[in-house]
Each structure stands twice: as C-alpha cells, then as structure tokens.
C-alpha cells in the first residue's frame, strides 16, 4: 500500500515542481503582448518522454497544480489560472502522446527525417493548446479567437522546438551507441572555433541589429551542426533560440519589432523556429551518416560468422597496441590458435556443424578476455588473442584455462555432441621486436610444433624477446 502511494506521489511532486519553476521563468519574462519564452510545456513533454513512468494520472494532477500555483502567485484569479492550465495541459498532453509513438531513433534524432517527424508531433500539440487558449480568450476576454489561435500556436511551436529536441537528444539509454557527427573526432582549437564563430555572429547581430540580424548566426549554427554531436547542437540551438526570444521580446535587440502587432509576433517566432530547425536537421542527417559509416567500419573489421575481428583489423590493432611507448605498455600474452581436426568435423557433420563449432569457440574466447583485449579470426579455423597481462606465470595460466575451456565445451548438432580441441602457439611479450613479421613467424612455428606433438596443447615461443616469458617451456595438456 505504502509503495503504491509512493509511486503515485513521485510523479505528482516531480512534475509539479518542474512546471512551477518553468512557468515562473516564463511569466517573469513577460512583455507587453505575451511571454517572451515559455519553457514549461516543452520541458514537460520532454521529461515525460524521457521518463515514461511519470505519465500517470497523479503526474498530470501535479502538472495542473504547478500551472495553477504559478498563475496565482503572479496575480491571476484561481478560475482564470485553472483555464490557462487546461490550455497548456491540452497542448503538452498532445505533444507527449504523439512523441511517445515515435521510434526511439527519432527521439534521439538518429534518422534522416527525425526532425520532420518530431515537428509533425509538435504542430498538432501547438494547435491543440492554441485552440484551448483561443476559446479561453474569446469567453473570458472577448478577444479574437482567430488571432489568438495564430499567435498562441506560433508561440507554442517555437518554444517546443527550442526545448524538446534538446531533451530528446539526451535520452540515450545505457549501452546505446552514441554516434558523432563527422567533426567530433577533432580536438582542441579546431573544435572550439565553430562555437567561437557562433558567439561572434551573435555579438554582430546585437551590434548591427536590424530586420536581418536575426539570421546572422545561421552560418555558424550550420557549422556547429557539422562539427558537434547532435545533443550538443540541440543544446546550442536551445540556448540561442531562448536567448533570441527573450532579447527580441523584451526589446534588448532592436530588429524593428513591434510586439503589440500580432502579425509581427508571429513572423519573429517563425523566424526563430527556422533558426532552430535548420541546424537540427543538418545535425540529424550527419548523425545518420556517421551511424552508417560506423556500420560499414564494423562490417569491414569483423568476421561475419563469429563477430570477431578479422585478420587485417586484428593485426592493425595489435600493432597499434604494441607500438605504444614501453613506459605505458603492459605485458601481453599473444596466442595463435587452431581448431584441431576441423576438416574431419566438416566432413563428418557438415559445414553448418563446423560453423557452430567456430561460433562456440568465439564465444569462449570472448569470455576469456577482459575489456580491451583483442580476439580475432585469422581465417578458417585459425584464431588469435592478445591479452594484456604482465606476469609470465599468469599468462601461462590464462592460456591453459582457455585450452581447457574449449576442450570441455561441447557443440550439440542433430542430437550429437561434437567435442573439439585447439592447439596454441603462444608468447609472453615484454620486449616487442622491431619486425612484427618475425613475431608472427615464431608464433606459427610454435603452433605447428603443438600440432606435431599431438595437438590439444600449448607451445611457448622461444624468441629472444621472450627473455621473461614462461621459461621457453612446453605446456602439455593430457
């Protein structure tokens, strides 16, 4: 019982506080005609989409309490505050319902038309809230319903576009791959100058204010979209959009606006909406491009059957590890493995059974490695492992554990358990040779010795770079 009450109270309290703080900020920025910036509805929709457990009746009761409490605090009557709360809730509820129906990749701006789909959810939400507001203005104040519908919907739309994408782009779940736009790999000054260019363009817009100055930041925004993560771009556009709304609405920047003229209010808000939409669209497209490139890199670097690194990728990454300065490089156990009598398995049980045996070995090999170790399929039934391990005795134990794990593993095929073993050529690297081809040759020789001496065993290489390796010994596994 107490648990159910706690679950119901949490959404109520959380959403009431969020709405109260956001609405207070919005009403504090109020100018002659309307509010400059109204983040409450966008924050509400974004928060519920990020935390769907808040989408409960008690949560929406908290939303109503937050809206009403803010309006009463700022001098509205309780009945009028309740009417305004109803209009805002109608818009936010519409936005939340539609956004929750989108694919998760759209919510993170990970698809080509994600921004368009999000916009398709926010337009009806803006109109829904505007219709409630128009009815309120007509009945309570005798104002123009059509004029209110236009100004309210334009206001809601730009506020949603400023807040919602920034919140949604941050809703990556643990384990999700967060791609970056093409320039994210850049570091230092090369990554800072797009933000600097944006700051300079904003200063220029203030100094040389006028009807066109509102678009001064657009080139720099596009550059930011090409350089930074989607989430970073969304935050930048949110800050810029909110800044412009307040600066123009409060008259801090003079672009010839008259905020008492509804048509001019609508025009300015739609211009700011465009300022936000363009970089978000570009950033989303860049994120999709990078996702595709990452998939291609993965496909190029990994074996299709086992999912392990292929030979080229394994050797390249191994060389990168081994070429690190000795002061920062650990010792390594390098293992060359070959599945014993694999041709016989294929001949007796078929190639599909052989594929299962290889996949089983890949699973065991991955489980035997720590994060950061390398496992690769070198071709056919040949595999390789690079395990970071400083102690030579520990390297011997790790190799023997892998040997035994695979010998004990059985692959079930058509009711028959197939058991296979591996032969291993190994070395413990303390001193890396200049010519890695010599290292590979020595490992191949150790592997062939293991096969000639009966298979299902480990032979440690006796190269001179192995002065501190497992004593140039042969570990025979019965």
What the block records as the tokens of 3 is: 């648990």
Residues of the chain with CATH 3.30.70.270: 311-475
Mean pLDDT value across residues 34-62: 90
Task: Name the residue with higher pLDDT: 322 or 241.
Answer: 241
Q: Write down the pLDDT at residue 185.
A: 41
Q: Write down the pLDDT at residue 85.
A: 95
Placement of tokens 């496909």 in the chain? 299
Q: How far is CA 64 from CA 59, 73, 277, 329, in A?
A: 9, 14, 30, 60
CATH class of 311-475: alpha beta
What the block records as the tokens of 389 is: 């391990």
Query: At residue 346, does pLDDT exceed 70?
Result: yes
- Print burial letters for 79-96: b (CB count within 10 Å at least 16), e (below 16): ebbebbbbbbbbbbbbbb
Split at pLDDT 50, 70, 90, the class of 251 is: confident
Query: At residue 466, does pLDDT exceed 50?
Result: no
Split at pLDDT 50, 70, 90, the class of 2 is: low
Q: How far is CA 413 from CA 42, 352, 410, in A?
A: 56, 9, 10
What the block records as the tokens of 120 is: 């398709």
Q: Write down the pLDDT at residue 175.
A: 37
Q: Write down the pLDDT at residue 140.
A: 84
Split at pLDDT 50, 70, 90, the class of 187 is: very low
CA distance 311 to 328: 25
The pLDDT tens digits for 292-315 are 898 899 999 999 999 999 999 999
Q: Write down the pLDDT at residue 176.
A: 39
Burial class (CB in 10 A: 0-12, 13-18, 19+), 449: middle
Q: Write down the pLDDT at residue 171.
A: 53
Query: At residue 470, does pLDDT exceed 90?
Result: no
Task: Provide the angle, in degrees to the nearest 10, between the axes of the packed helices 145-168 and 78-99.
Answer: 50
The pLDDT tens digits for 62-112 are 999 999 999 999 999 999 999 999 999 999 999 999 999 999 889 988 888
Query: At residue 214, does pLDDT exceed 70?
Result: yes
Query: At residue 8, does pLDDT exceed 50?
Result: yes
Report whether 294 contacts 177 (CB < 8 A): yes
Query: At residue 356, does pLDDT exceed 90?
Result: yes
What the block records as the tokens of 359 is: 């996949």
Reading phi first (left if > 0) and then psi (alpha if -120 to 50, else beta), residue 455 is in: left
Query: At residue 179, does pLDDT exceed 50?
Result: no
Mean pLDDT, all residues of the chain: 85
Query: At residue 183, does pLDDT exceed 50?
Result: no
The pLDDT tens digits for 359-388 are 999 999 998 888 889 999 999 999 999 998
The pLDDT tens digits for 117-152 are 999 999 999 999 999 999 998 888 888 899 889 989
Kindly report which listed range (173-187, 338-352, 391-405) carries the lowest average pLDDT score: 173-187
Name the maximum alpha-carbon separation found in the chain: 99
Q: Write down the pLDDT at residue 476.
A: 35
- CA nearest neighbour of 120 among 145, 88, 95, 139: 95
Burial class (CB in 10 A: 0-12, 13-18, 19+), 257: middle
Split at pLDDT 50, 70, 90, the class of 182 is: very low
Split at pLDDT 50, 70, 90, the class of 263 is: confident
Task: Name the residue with higher pLDDT: 279 or 326.
Answer: 279
pTM passes above 0.75 = no
Q: Write down the pLDDT at residue 435.
A: 76
The pLDDT tens digits for 414-455 are 888 999 999 999 998 877 777 788 888 889 999 999 999 999
Distance spanning both ends of the chain, measured CA to CA = 62
Q: Write down the pLDDT at residue 3.
A: 58
Q: Write down the pLDDT at residue 267.
A: 87
Q: Write down the pLDDT at residue 462.
A: 66
Long-range contacts of residues 406-410, Cβ cutoff 8 Å, at least 24 apart: 406/361, 406/364, 407/456, 407/477, 409/360, 409/361, 409/364
Task: Name the residue with higher pLDDT: 112 or 216.
Answer: 216
Task: Name the residue with higher pLDDT: 473 or 458.
Answer: 458
- CA nearest neighbour of 227 among 292, 195, 182, 279: 182
Q: How far is CA 146 from CA 68, 86, 249, 412, 449, in A?
A: 25, 19, 22, 72, 88
């Amino acid at each position: 019982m107490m648990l159910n009450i706690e679950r119901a109270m949490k959404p109520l309290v959380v959403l009431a506080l969020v709405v109260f703080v956001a609405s207070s900020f919005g009403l504090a920025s109020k100018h002659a005609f309307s509010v400059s910036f109204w983040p409450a509805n966008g924050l509400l929709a974004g928060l519920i989409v990020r935390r769907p457990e808040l989408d409960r009746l008690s949560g929406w009761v908290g939303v109503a309490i937050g809206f009403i409490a803010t309006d009463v605090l700022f001098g509205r009557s309780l009945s009028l505050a309740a009417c305004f709360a109803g209009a805002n809730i109608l818009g936010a509820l519409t936005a939340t319902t539609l956004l929750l129906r989108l694919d998760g990749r759209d919510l993170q701006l990970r698809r080509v038309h994600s921004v368009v789909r999000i916009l398709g959810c926010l337009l009806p939400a803006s109109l829904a809230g505007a219709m409630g507001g128009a009815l309120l203005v007509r009945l309570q104040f005798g104002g123009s319903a059509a004029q209110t519908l236009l100004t309210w919907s334009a206001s809601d739309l730009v506020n949603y576009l400023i807040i919602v994408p920034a919140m949604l782009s941050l809703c990556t779940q643990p384990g999700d791959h967060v791609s970056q736009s093409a320039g994210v790999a850049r570091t230092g000054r090369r990554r800072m100058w797009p933000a600097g260019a944006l700051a300079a363009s904003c200063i220029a817009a203030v100094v040389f204010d006028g009807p066109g100055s509102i678009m001064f930041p657009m080139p720099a925004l596009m550059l930011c979209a090409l350089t930074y993560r989607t989430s970073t771009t969304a935050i930048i556009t949110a800050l810029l959009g909110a800044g412009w709304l307040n600066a123009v609405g409060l008259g801090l920047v003079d672009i010839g606006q008259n905020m008492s003229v509804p048509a001019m209010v609508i025009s300015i808000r739609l211009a700011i909406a465009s300022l936000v939409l363009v970089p978000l669209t570009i950033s989303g497209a860049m994120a999709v491009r990078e996702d595709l490139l990452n998939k291609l890199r993965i496909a190029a670097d990994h074996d299709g059957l086992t999912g392990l690194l292929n030979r080229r990728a394994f050797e390249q990454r191994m060389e990168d590890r081994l070429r690190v300065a000795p002061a920062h490089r650990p010792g390594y156990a390098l293992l060359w493995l070959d599945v014993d009598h694999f041709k016989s398995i294929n001949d007796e049980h078929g190639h599909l059974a052989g594929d299962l045996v290889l996949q089983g070995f890949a699973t065991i090999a991955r489980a035997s490695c720590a994060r950061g170790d390398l496992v690769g399929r070198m071709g056919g039934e040949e595999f390789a492992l690079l395990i970071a391990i400083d102690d030579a005795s520990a390297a011997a134990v790790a190799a023997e554990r892998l040997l035994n794990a695979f010998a004990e593993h059985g692959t079930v095929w058509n009711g028959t358990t197939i058991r296979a073993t591996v032969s291993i050529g190994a070395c413990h690297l303390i001193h890396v040779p200049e010519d890695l081809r010599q290292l590979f040759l020595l490992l191949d020789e150790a592997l062939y010795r293991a096969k000639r001496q009966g298979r299902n065993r480990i032979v440690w290489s006796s190269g001179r770079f192995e002065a501190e390796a497992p004593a140039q010994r042969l570990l025979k596994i019965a």
